[in-house]
Amino acid sequence: MMRRSMALAGLLGAVAVLLTAGILAAWMWPEKNISAQESSMKQGSVSQGLEESSRLEESLQQADSIPLKAEPDVAADYSGWAQAENGNWFYYRTGEKATGWIQLGTVWYLLSDNGAMQTGWQWYAGNWYYMDNSGAMRTGWVNDSSKWYYMDCSGAMMKGFIHDGNGWYYLDAEGVWQENYTDAEVTSSGRMIRIENGVAYVDGILIANKKYPLPKDYAPGRLTDEVQAALAEMQQAAAADGLNLYVVSGYRSYEYQGQLYQNYVKRDGQAAADRYSARPGYSEHQTGLAFDLNSTSNSFAGTPEAKWLAAHAQEYGFIIRYPKGKENVTGYQYEPWHLRYLGKEIAQAVYDSGLCLEEYLGIASYYTNE
């Protein structure tokens, strides 16, 4: 439309120039040198030019008032992208216009209710997303107006402490990275998260889950003395009830966890492995505060030992770290054999709450990067 308007405006300008030339000619050559017939012809030409100019201007206004098509015309069997005259892009599946989120290959796009492809910041289902100029959803770091934001692997803008796979960063309430931030983050339950030497603590409780990893060099080397003492006390109490509890997997280094995880991925695929095995740096076994007892088979659930642990572990400072029905919160399947040491007071409080540790502390557990 802009080119059409410019072209027509040029024609109007040309008419104006011709009219001006006629007026100048009448001034420069007085009427006494021109016959009455010539004068009448000249006046008629000027009048006719003015009328033509008026009609041209009217047709220009009418042309500019014609709206550009808001949607493209596509064949009934067309599939793919199509651009409307107003510049908006639409995606069609066999002639049907798509709306909402669509995935093409590995790329996600967000289409409005009327099907128009969205770009820039978009608010959707309680989260901010950033769609680049091609409409593709961005993940990872995004720079907008000289400010840095971080979008998790689902595209949602993050806030608070985040780990991008290389290091810790703090994003304020607007999602903007704040350099050299040393204060704490407040969780949804009002607790304080601090990062100390690359390790996340919530109200002093060391956290290692899918969102809060440990540094590669965090290596206590074995279960801590406090954990071993509490474990021995619990084993004695279980033995008094005729049960035998023993550790089948205790401390694991970053490197060893990586080997285990890769073996599981090769055997079952990454999606399945992520349900029962932590990626290196994200395992509680690396903390020296957690261990697996007796068997890591699902058949352990329902055994006398598993029932005893579910009822009494908190009395000795332990919790069943990945309880039944909490997979969507913890990020792991039910593991009645996996215990985490918190100390008797906190373990009892978590047990009494009926919550898993993430719910109790008000934190999330999901991989923010792939």
Mean pLDDT for the stretch of residues 249-270: 98
How far is residue 91 CA from its own chain's centroid?
22
pLDDT of residue 144: 97
Q: What is the pLDDT of residue 347?
A: 98
For residue range 136-167, what is the model confidence (pLDDT) as tens digits? Answer: 999 999 999 999 999 999 999 999 999 999 99
Reply yes or no on whether 335 is catalytic.
yes
Query: Is 317 strand, coil or helix?
Result: coil
Q: Does the structure show a pLDDT above 90 at 280? A: yes
Rounded CA gap, 87 and 91, in Å?
A: 13
Q: Does residue 304 have a pLDDT over 90?
A: yes
Read off the pLDDT of each residue in 106-121 and give the average, rounded to a whole number. 96
> For residue 222, what pLDDT is reported?
98
**Residue 181 scores a pLDDT above 80:** yes
Q: pLDDT band at residue 56, thresholds of 50, 70 and 90? A: low
Q: Please determine, for residue 2, whether its predicted confidence score (pLDDT) is greater than 70.
A: no
The helix/strand/coil state of 314 is helix
Give the pLDDT confidence score for residue 221 in this predicted structure.
97
Give the pLDDT of residue 9.
47
Provide the 8-state DSSP code for 298: G
Under the banding of pLDDT at 50, 70 and 90, the label for residue 19 is: very low
Helices (runs of H) and strands (runs of E) counted in the chain = 9, 19
Residue range 339-351: mean pLDDT, rounded? 98
Looking from the CA of 177 toward its CB, the CA atoms found within 13 Å total 20
Per-residue pLDDT at 311 exceeds 60: yes
**64-104: per-residue pLDDT in tens?**
555 666 788 899 999 999 999 999 999 999 999 999 999 99
R_g of the chain computed on alpha carbons: 36
As a whole number of angstroms, the distance between CA 289 and CA 264 comes to: 23
185, 305, 335, 358: the active-site residue: 335
% of the chain beyond a pLDDT of 90? 78
> What local confidence, expressed as pLDDT, does residue 28 receive?
42
The two beta strands, 318-322 and 335-341, are antiparallel
**Placement of tokens 């100048």 in the chain:** 24
